[in-house]
Amino acid sequence: MMDIRPSPPLVYHACDHEKPPVMENAMNRDWHEAHPIPPKATRRQRVEWHLAHSQACGCRPPPPSLLPEIRDLERQRLLAVEGGAIR
Ligand SMILES: [Zn+2]
């Protein structure tokens, strides 16, 4: 009896797929170059920086100690946008 099983593919990656997308948490170099954190940043500046950072990059999470303030600032921004659009 003849064995007519199809032979397994010899080459698995002969296709021209693009490389897989970079990981979501990969560092956004361009953003970091455009937004250096000031060496003597005030707490408020750090909160603003981390808010922008979490939206643009997210290579590392904001420090837990700043998280409540970052959330507050984010909410204020959202309210300001909604209220300011009508003026
Ligand atoms: Zn980052």
Residues 6 or more apart whose CB falls under 8 angstroms from that of 1 comprise: none
Asked whether residue 48 is domain-assigned, the answer is yes
Number of domains within the chain: 1
Question: What is residue 53's three-state secondary structure?
Answer: helix
Which burial class, exposed, middle or buried, applies to 54 when counting CB atoms under 10 A from its CB (0-12, 13-18, 19+)?
A: middle
Asked whether residue 49 is domain-assigned, the answer is yes
Range of the domain at 76: 40-84
Asked whether residue 2 is domain-assigned, the answer is no
For residues 77 and 85, the answer to whether their CB atoms sit within 8 Å is no
pLDDT of residue 21: 52
pTM check: above 0.85: no
Asked whether residue 23 is domain-assigned, the answer is no
pLDDT of residue 23: 52
State the distance from the centre of ligand 1 to the C-alpha of 59, rounded, in angstroms.
4
Q: pLDDT at residue 86 above 60?
A: no
State the distance from the centre of ligand 1 to the C-alpha of 15, rounded, in angstroms.
33
pLDDT of residue 81: 83
Task: Return the higher-pLDDT residue of 41 and 17.
Answer: 41
The one-letter amino acid code at 31 reads W
Asked whether residue 26 is domain-assigned, the answer is no
State the distance from the centre of ligand 1 to the C-alpha of 32, rounded, in angstroms.
6
State the distance from the centre of ligand 1 to the C-alpha of 60, rounded, in angstroms.
6
User: Shortest CA distance to 38 belongs to which of 49, 27, 52, 29?
Assistant: 49
Asked whether residue 17 is domain-assigned, the answer is no
Q: Indicate the pLDDT class of residue 20, thresholds 50, 70 and 90.
A: low
